[in-house]
Structure 1
Amino acid sequence: MPSLTISYRNLDPSPALETEVRRRFDKLMKLGRERLIACHVVISAPNRRRQQGKLYSVNLRLELPRGSLPVNRNPPLDHAHEDAHVAIHDAFDAALRRLAEFRRRLNGEIKTHAAKRPRLRAARDSHADEGES
């Protein structure tokens, strides 16, 4: 079982937030299908002095056998992250997407685009010259 570390910045540890993180982590383990070594979660609130509009941010770092995968979910402008539970939900959804992309990249399933071909300007120029005659 991978280790889970939860840290709090500018807010007190909360059993409700910890329960939410553990629930989302379990779901990530079931759906991720990627072997995790560790998951570090940092839940932060901006400044304690502000009374309303406090937007939470959640940062995850997934440690995989082939490297580390950071997932940063900073507060959006629509104030949906005034609730820390919503911020946690969004961060773990982003982690699932990043894991899926990481897996596709490792399996070679992501399409690589060919280098841009040079434009055939000579053909266009020759047609323009024909019109001038």
Structure 2
Amino acid sequence: MQTPLELVFQNVEPSDEVKTLVDQKARHLETFFDGMTACKVYVRAPHKRHKTGNLYEVTIEVRVPGDTLVVRHNQTDVGQHEHIQVAVRDAFATMAREVKRWKDKIGGDVKTHDTPLQGTVTEIYHDAGYGQIMATDHRLVYFHENSVVGGGFGDLERDDTVELVVETEESETGPQASTVRKIGGMAFDPKAKRPH
């Protein structure tokens, strides 16, 4: 991969055992397609249960040329996701299928010059914990404070430039970002007129 593996723990105590497992699984993904440029893994325990313990949610984002593949296994998927290793294993198994499906779909036609989706923060409500981004593809994308990585939601301001990953399934509010990262400059200006 072009960039190092990123692993983020939210409401979960980081462990070397999980870090090693994620690293092994990410390396295994590359055996299906060696052109992956980035892999980000989020391990969350969003709900606490008194009797059964935490049910873990694992989100994996893999950047491939011209696309980003996203898999999210949430706490309601499988009861066995009380065990963090099982949740990680299952999420990576699903991502392996996604990578194979993507590779079959594109065949040998891989574009390597595509840039990640970027945008500008147009609205941000720090007290309410959400905001909106005008993306370079001219979509207005909602984002929640939990989707901000590589810094903090509190550090974002209007007109900041960000890189984002949009969920494949739209929410009730329209397109929603699963990941938002503040960056320095933008390759494209979303306010510029579209070519006719």
TM-score under structure 1 normalisation? Answer: 0.72
Superposed displacement of residue 107, structure 1? 2.3
| Structure 2 CA distance for aligned equivalents of residues 26 and 80 of structure 1 | 24
SS at match of 1:72: strand
- Which letter does structure 2 place at the counterpart of 1:59? T
Matches within 5 A, 1:42-121: 42-48=42-48, 50-53=49-52, 54-107=54-107
Q: Which has the higher contact order (CA 8 A, sep 6+)?
A: 1
The answer for the alignment partner of 1:5 in structure 2 is: 6
Superposed displacement of residue 51, structure 1? 3.1
- Which letter does structure 2 place at the counterpart of 1:12? E
- Contact 1:41/1:61 (<8 A) preserved: yes
Consecutive unaligned residues of structure 2, counting only runs of 5 or more, are: 109-196
Change (3 A) 1:78 1:68: closer
The answer for the alignment partner of 1:27 in structure 2 is: 28
Deviating above 4 A after TM superposition, structure 1's stretches of 4 or more consecutive aligned residues are none
- Contact 1:34/1:99 (<8 A) preserved: no
- How many residues are treated as equivalent by the alignment? 106
Consecutive unaligned residues of structure 1, counting only runs of 5 or more, are: 109-133
SS at match of 2:35: coil
SS at match of 1:6: strand
Identity of aligned residues (%): 28
The answer for the alignment partner of 1:18 in structure 2 is: 19
Q: Deviations over 1:65-101 (max 9, x none)?
A: 2211111112345411010000000010001000111
Decide which structure has greater strand share: 2
The answer for the alignment partner of 1:41 in structure 2 is: 41
TM-score under structure 2 normalisation? Answer: 0.50
Larger Rg: 1
Superposition CA RMSD, Å: 1.8
- Contact 2:63/2:69 (<8 A) preserved: yes
